[in-house]
Amino acid sequence: MDPYDILHRQSVDDPEAFWGAEAAGIEWHRPFTRVLDDRRAPLLRWFVDGTTNVCHNAVDRHLATRGDQAALIHVSTETGSERVYTYRELFDEVNRVAAMLIGEGVERGDRVLIYLPMVPEAVFAMLACTRIGAIHSVVFGGFASTSLASRIDDARPKLVLSADAGSRAGKTIAYKPLLDAAIDLARHKPHRVVLLDRGLCPMTRVDGRDLDWATLRARHLDDRVDCAWLESNEPCYILYTSGTTGTPKGVVRDTGGHAVALVASIKYIFDPAGAAGAVDPVSGRRTFFAASDIGWVVGHCYTVYAPLLAGMATLLYEGLPTRGMDGEPDAGIWWRLVARHRVNGMFTAPTAIRVLKKQDPSHLTAHDLSSLDALFLAGEPLDEPTARWIADGIGKPILDNYWQTETGWPMLAVQRGADASMAPRFGSPGKPVLGYRLKLLDESTMDEVGADRKGVLVLEGPLPPGCMATVWGDDARFVDTYWSLRDDRSVYSTFDWGVRDADGYYFILGRTDDVINVAGHRLGTREIEESIAAHAAIAETAVVGVADALKGQVAIAFAVLRDPASMATPVDRLRLEGEVMALVDRSLGALARPARVHVVDALPKTRSGKMLRRALQAVCEGRDPGDLTTIEDPSTLRQIHDLLHPSPSIVA
């Protein structure tokens, strides 16, 4: 057995011994009395009775040794600004926001909703919440009012932190009107809204509710706030993610287990050299650049928490990968930043690389990338041509890794910290990460499948620390959604298909459910359908994810009209398509916008009325729709096929 096999076996055979030792990766205020309490499995409690604080471990702990080292490097090519905060400056800013939250009545256990663009204040806010034991819920700035309102109603935040606007490709995106509309829509009304004024867009304030960030900051300039010592299982944050219903799930992350898992992931996956004590010879530190929005799980874990917990500097970037500081096109901007800030590890999604692939490859070699150890990619399937293109272009290891919002850190990865000689394999994110008991099961028999056989990827409990503790406010939903019984063991479903080769490398083959992945962003088709159904002319709709060369997948909508005669001409239908796109933009945000809206007479369903989405998706992608014995009316699918591919039919 190689070193990885030995370590992996130990980690899953005796999780208490393995994680008990990994817990030394963070500081505890009071030691835990028990590593794992699984009496209510699958609801777990890690590091029982131990008290700690994530902000203490991410900031305060480093002051003595790294006070003057860079902690947060903020670059915005949207506003042409760049600012470096040392750990001491980060500490000061976090204390100011913590004092501001306390001053506005936020207490331990209260929720704070963060709806901010990629500004340093977003990081201060997250850390300030964890400092005082408030539970943050960051909502992606690209989400619009309906998504925001459903999250406000579920999390019931006492306070919201937001801004006048974000910016994308030089275009201002006003946040305040979206937030106001969301609060109007929501049943729950937050007491306070604190607004950062970036000077991008005028704001109208709501009296008695809205406050100015800069004024509050000035009031609390010299304040210090002690860290609240939380029991390891108290929640750190809620992060909403899409599923197969229209109601997003609030993934709850705990405190101690989450911090221990992230530190372990840096050691085994993302920066083994740094964890072993190496520093960059030029910068004298380790620097990580995860180019993900903080509203997504990669942003939470690898832009904010993990690098800071590990004492690295983290680069927070607002902008596109193809636009420079002066607003001019610059497909080399990321590599320019890697060189300037001596980035040692970089993390993004394959879509971003496919965007760069359309540009002149000379950008890849024009900068000094000597600091960079590896480029990590995750969030969607990494196609081999893209992986080869970027590997050849930058001459660095390209390390795909596979996980979900729910797991909070990788399930499959190349783990150079477990075995320095572990090599990546094209098309595979790697092998099961230490602590994860991965299995591939036959969908109907639930039997384990052998090498080279497709199965549903599941995890046997106990899930390692850092994975979701529960669904916010709904333990039953957590158990019912994810867990099923197999013999006497319950297993967690990832809702992904996978296959394993004879050497133990896994390959991901796509979702088993109706979740789609647009440019590395996870979206529920049900949410999009609900938003489209609000159009007065539409009786029924179905949305599927269809393969797209750039974005991985895009949403395609099919709509049945209430009164087909009223929209008989192509011009009517084009207008309807535009209206539907605008409707989705306003309620969910542009990411969810369908690339096409096709008007059809009827949708393909089973005799019991279930939508045949897999068949619909197959027809869109020009594939065989498979077994259609349960279809109520085969002509529905034939009509759609003929509409999309006016050539010889593949549908019988």
Q: 557 near 596, Cβ under 8 Å?
A: yes
Length of the chain: 652
- Cβ distance to ligand PRX smaller for residue 462 or 545: 545
Residue 164 contacts residue 197 (beta carbons within 8 Å):
yes
240, two tokens: 């909403």
Asked if 511 touches ligand PRX (CB under 6 A), the answer is yes
Residue 461 in contact with residue 467, Cβ under 8 Å?
Answer: no
Name the minimum Å distance from CB 412 to ligand PRX: 7
Dihedral, CA of residue 347, residue 348, residue 350 and residue 356, to nearest 10 = -110
Nearer to ligand PRX, 356 or 523 (CB): 523
Q: Which region, judged by CB under 6 A, interacts with ligand PRX, from 26-34, 180-188, 376-384, 439-447?
A: 376-384
Using the rule CB under 6 A, is 494 a contact of ligand PRX?
yes
Nearer to ligand PRX, 123 or 349 (CB): 349
562: which residues sit within 8 A by CB, 6+ positions away? 536, 537, 538, 539
> Dihedral sign, CA of 537, 541, 543, 546?
negative
Spell out, one character per residue from 75 to 104, where the chain touches ligand PRX: x when CB under 6 A holds, - when not. Answer: ------------------------------
Please state the closest distance from residue 576 (CB atom) to ligand PRX, in A.
Answer: 31
By CB under 6 A, residue 139 contacts ligand PRX = no
Strands (E), 373-505: 374-378, 398-401, 412-413, 431-432, 437-441, 455-460, 470-471, 483-486, 489-500
Of 98, 259, 508, 546, the one binding ligand PRX (CB under 6 A) is: 508
Task: Tell me how far the alpha carbon of residue 200 is from its chain's centroid.
Answer: 27
Q: Is 425 in the site for ligand PRX (CB under 6 A)?
A: no
Please choose, out of 95-103, 124-132, 358-366, 374-382, the segment that lies near ligand PRX by the rule CB under 6 A. Answer: 374-382
Binding of ligand PRX by 523 (CB under 6 A): no
Query: Residue 266 class from Cβ within 10 Å (0-12 exposed, 13-18 middle, 19+ buried)?
Result: buried
- Of 496, 514, 529, 530, the one binding ligand PRX by CB under 6 A: 496
The least distance separating ligand PRX from the CB of residue 581, rounded to whole angstroms, comes to 23
Considering the complex, what minimum distance in angstroms separates the CB of residue 266 from ligand PRX? Answer: 16
Residue 165 in the binding site for ligand PRX (CB under 6 A): no
Please, which residues bridge with residue 643 across strands?
Answer: none
Q: Which of 112, 149, 216, 297 is close enough to bind ligand PRX by CB under 6 A?
A: 297
Q: How far apart are CA 325 and CA 88, in angstroms?
A: 27
Give the one residue of 404, 415, 470, 525 binding ligand PRX; rule: CB under 6 A: 404
Residue 150 makes contact with ligand PRX by CB under 6 A: no
- 293 touches ligand PRX by CB under 6 A: no
In order, the DSSP letters of 150-202 are HHHHHH--SEEEEESEEEETTEEEE-HHHHHHHHHH-SS--SEEEEE--SSS-
- Selected from 400, 419, 514, 527, the binder of ligand PRX by CB under 6 A is 400
Binding range to ligand PRX, per CB under 6 A, among 47-55, 89-97, 398-406, 485-493: 398-406
Rounded to a whole number of angstroms, the minimum distance from the CB of residue 327 to ligand PRX is 30
Residues 429-448, interacting with ligand PRX (CB under 6 A): 429
Give the number of residues in contact with ligand PRX, rule: CB under 6 A: 20
Between residues 334 and 402, which has the closer beta carbon with respect to ligand PRX?
Answer: 402
Cβ 563 to ligand PRX, closest distance in Å? 39
Question: Closest distance between ligand PRX and the C-beta of residue 228, in Å?
Answer: 29
Do 78 and 199 meet the contact criterion of CB atoms below 8 Å apart?
Answer: no
CB-nearer residue toward ligand PRX: 21 or 423: 423
The answer to whether residue 298 forms part of the interface with ligand PRX (CB under 6 A) is: yes
Cα 287 from Cα 28, distance rounded (Å): 25
Nearer to ligand PRX, 424 or 594 (CB): 424
Please say which residue, 414 or 599, places its beta carbon nearer to ligand PRX. Answer: 414
Under the binding rule (CB under 6 A), the answer on residue 367 touching ligand PRX is no
Cα–Cα distance for residue pair 51/67, rounded to 1 Å:
24
**Long-range contacts, stretch 197-200, CB < 8 angstroms, 24+ apart:** 197/163, 197/164, 198/79, 198/117, 198/119, 198/163, 198/164, 198/165, 199/164, 200/79, 200/164, 200/165, 200/167, 200/172
* Residue (of 472, 466, 379) closest to 151 by Cα position: 472
Among 378, 592, 600, 615, binds ligand PRX (CB under 6 A): 378
641: left (phi over 0), alpha (psi -120 to 50) or beta: alpha
* Residues 214-253, interacting with ligand PRX (CB under 6 A): 241
Nearest distance in Å: CB 456, ligand PRX: 11
Q: Kindly state whether residue 500 participates in binding ligand PRX, applying the rule CB under 6 A.
A: no
Based on CB atoms, which residue is closest to ligand PRX, 289 or 403? 403
Nearer to ligand PRX, 184 or 443 (CB): 443
Q: How far apart are CA 485 and CA 24, in angstroms?
A: 34
Among 48-56, 65-73, 378-386, 630-638, which window interacts with ligand PRX (CB under 6 A)? Answer: 378-386
Question: Closest CB to ligand PRX among 293 and 380?
Answer: 380
Whether 111 and 123 have beta carbons less than 8 Å apart is answered as no
Q: Which stretch binds ligand PRX (CB under 6 A): 14-22, 79-87, 189-197, 396-404?
A: 396-404
Q: In angstroms, what is the minimal distance from the CB of 253 to ligand PRX?
A: 13
Kindly state whether residue 306 participates in binding ligand PRX, applying the rule CB under 6 A.
Answer: no
Among 334, 403, 482, 505, binds ligand PRX (CB under 6 A): 403
- Residue 24 CB neighbour total at 10 angstroms: 10
Helix (H) or strand (E) holding 79: none
Cβ atoms within 10 Å, residue 273 = 17
Q: Does 617 bind ligand PRX (CB under 6 A)?
A: no
Tokens standing for residue 399: 């390390």
Q: Does 146 bind ligand PRX (CB under 6 A)?
A: no
Find residue 138's DSSP bridge partners. 114
Amino acid at 273: A
Closest CA to 304 of 288, 318, 284, 283: 288
CB of 403 or CB of 483, closer to ligand PRX: 403
Tell me the C-alpha distance between 556 and 572, whole Å: 19
Please state, in angstroms and rounded to a whole number, the distance separating the CA atoms of residues 527 and 543: 9
Cβ nearer to ligand PRX, comparing 295 with 311: 295
Stretch near ligand PRX under the rule CB under 6 A, chosen from 193-201, 214-222, 361-369, 377-385: 377-385
Contact 540, 603 (CB under 8 A): yes
Interface residues with ligand PRX (CB under 6 A) are: 241, 297-298, 378-381, 400-405, 429, 494, 496, 508, 511, 517, 522
